[in-house]
Amino acid sequence: MTEQVNSLFDTGIERYKAGEGTDTLIPLFQDICNQAPKMAAAWTCLAWLYMLSAQPTQAYKAAQKGLKLDASDPQVRINYAMTMLETGQAGVRQHIEVIQQMIANSSELKEQVRETLDEGLTRKPDWKSLNKVKNWLFDS
C-alpha cells in the first residue's frame, strides 16, 4: 500500500510539474490524503492546489493538517501562513518568523523556497498572499 501511495504521489508531482491543472490534480491528492492521512507532503500539496484554485477554506484545512504532521517543513508553514491570510486568520507573523529562522542558515533551503514561490507566481501571477509572504521572506 505504501509503495502504491508513494507512486501516486510521485506521479501527481510529475503531472503538476508538467503543467496539469488543479481540476484533475485536486482529486488525485485528495485520494492520496485519504489513503495516507499521515503523509504531510500530500496535505501540503493539496493545500497548494486548493490555493491555486481559489478555495481558501479547503486550503486552510489541508494546510492545518500538514502543519500538525510536520511543523519542521518550511513549505508547510508557507502554505499555512498563506491560507491564514486568505481566510483572515490572525497569527501569520509568528509563522513567517519561524520560516525566516528555518531558511536563515541554509542557502539551499532558502533557494528551494524562493523557487517554489516564484513557480507559484508563474501559475497565478496575481496571487496576493503569495506575494506578501515572498516579500516578507525575501525583502526584509
For the segment 6-55, what is each residue's pLDDT rounded down to a tens digit? 999 999 999 999 999 999 999 999 999 999 999 999 999 999 999 999 99
Amino acid at position 81, single letter: A
pLDDT value of residue 2: 84
Read off the DSSP letter of residue 90. S
* Tally of CB atoms within 10 A around 52: 19
111 has pLDDT over 60: yes
1 has pLDDT over 70: no
Q: Residue 120 — very low, low, confident or very high, per pLDDT cuts 50/70/90?
A: very high
pLDDT value of residue 82: 96
**Burial of residue 2, with CB atoms counted within 10 A of its CB: 0-12 exposed, 13-18 middle, 19 or more buried:** exposed
C-alpha distances (whole Å) from 50 to each of 8, 108, 133 are 18, 27, 17
For all residues of the chain together, what is the average pLDDT?
95
pLDDT value of residue 140: 56
This model's pTM is above 0.85: yes
CB 25 within 8 A of CB 16: yes
Alpha-carbon gap, residue 135 to 9, rounded angstroms: 30
Q: Residue 110 — very low, low, confident or very high, per pLDDT cuts 50/70/90?
A: very high
pLDDT value of residue 10: 96
pLDDT value of residue 137: 95
CB 84 within 8 A of CB 60: yes
Query: CATH classification of 2-138 is 3.30.70.120, yes or no?
Result: no
64 has pLDDT over 70: yes
